[in-house]
Structure 1
Amino acid sequence: MLKQEILKILETDARTTPENIARMTGGSITEIKQIIKDAEDDRTIVRYKTVVNWEKVSNERVEAIIEVRVVPQRDTGFDSIAERIYRFPEARTVYLMSGTYDLAVLVTGKTMHQVANFVSQKLSQIDGVMGTTTHFMLKRYKEDGEILAGSEEVQRQQVVL
């Protein structure tokens, strides 16, 4: 299906032009533009994202994954607590998870202290939050399919004649 092809291309590289997508898929430029517009309008495409290797720019950013154990709320389950959490600007990503903890929250801040304060003063104070575990991210090796640390070398077996 053309829409799925377009979405896969844009997910890999959001800067791909409709003209290039048309060449890659065989669709018309007009059709490609309309599919993209419709996907933006119905929020199939939520936003375009740039992956930045912040270690190359500065170290003034701390990221942590916070695991949160909650008591599901009557009639809304996990959704109402998740909504309270994702409304905080510090919470960049919130997932409902299986396992010991119910929610995984990706948090960013300027310092470890700032992130810890968010957890203790905001997150832990929400009714229904039973416990949290904080994991500070020390180094990112790969994000969204892009290798950030080290070098990506071509792995070929040497041929000896």
Structure 2
Amino acid sequence: MDEILDLLRQNARLSVEDIAAMTKKTTDEVKQIIKKLEDDGVILKYAAIVNPEKDKVAKDKVVAEIQIQVQPQREHGFDAIADRIYRFPQVKSLYLMSGGYDLKVLIEGDNLKDVALFVSEKLSTLEGVRSTKTNFVLKTYKENDIVYVEDERDRRETVQS
């Protein structure tokens, strides 16, 4: 099961036949294992990883990381406020953190004003939110083991005199 999961992590477009050949299993065994992984919630989604610098829609978006200090709720801890935060469509990722703040949120907006309004009108007004600190993503070099920057070597030939 782990071997198939690792193969799918590397390339979710592998065919069942290719996975069977690589793992020395039958196609039926591979199908059953993949179905079990999906049914058990191990595999949640298949998605393409797109270079944001080359995707016009993503390139025009503003991405911000927001560090949030919250007051945990009795009997629910951080989960109740996290539940309210991750339901906003702007929220792309949400993490419980150790250190100087409690939650880290990655959000996406159409422009700086959208992000500012989200923080001031939606996020900071939630009961339990004590403070927020917003940082804007200026450029993504690497994410989820994918390097987005291309090797930009100087391809000019030297001139010798």
TM-score (norm 2): 0.89
Q: List aligned pairs for 1:1-161, cutoff 5 A.
A: 3-58=1-56, 59-151=59-151
Instruction: Tell me which moved more, 48-57 or 107-116.
Output: 48-57
SS at match of 1:105: strand
Q: Matches of 2:89 and 2:55 in 1, distance apart?
A: 22
* 1:26 Cα offset (Å): 1.3
* 1:147 Cα offset (Å): 0.9
Q: Partner residue of 2:159?
A: none
What RMSD over aligned residues (CA atoms) do the two structures have, in Å? 1.4
* 1:61 Cα offset (Å): 0.9
* 1:122 Cα offset (Å): 0.3
Equivalent pairs: percent with the same residue? 49
Q: Matches of 2:119 and 2:11 in 1, distance apart?
A: 34
Q: Which runs of 4+ in 1 moved over 6 A?
A: none
Partner amino acid, structure 1, of 2:3: E
Alpha-carbon distance change, 152 to 82 in structure 1, aligned in 2, over 3 angstroms: farther
Q: Partner residue of 1:159?
A: none
Q: Which runs of 5+ in 1 are unaligned?
A: 154-161
SS at match of 1:72: coil
Contact 1:64 1:137 in 2 (8 A): yes
Q: Partner residue of 2:157?
A: none
Contact 1:51 1:144 in 2 (8 A): no
Q: Matches of 2:121 and 2:13 in 1, distance apart?
A: 40
* 1:150 Cα offset (Å): 2.6
Q: Matches of 1:101 and 1:49 in 2, distance apart?
A: 31
Contact 1:18 1:29 in 2 (8 A): yes
Q: Matches of 1:149 and 1:91 in 2, distance apart?
A: 25
- How many residues end up aligned between the 2 structures? 151
Partner amino acid, structure 1, of 2:33: I
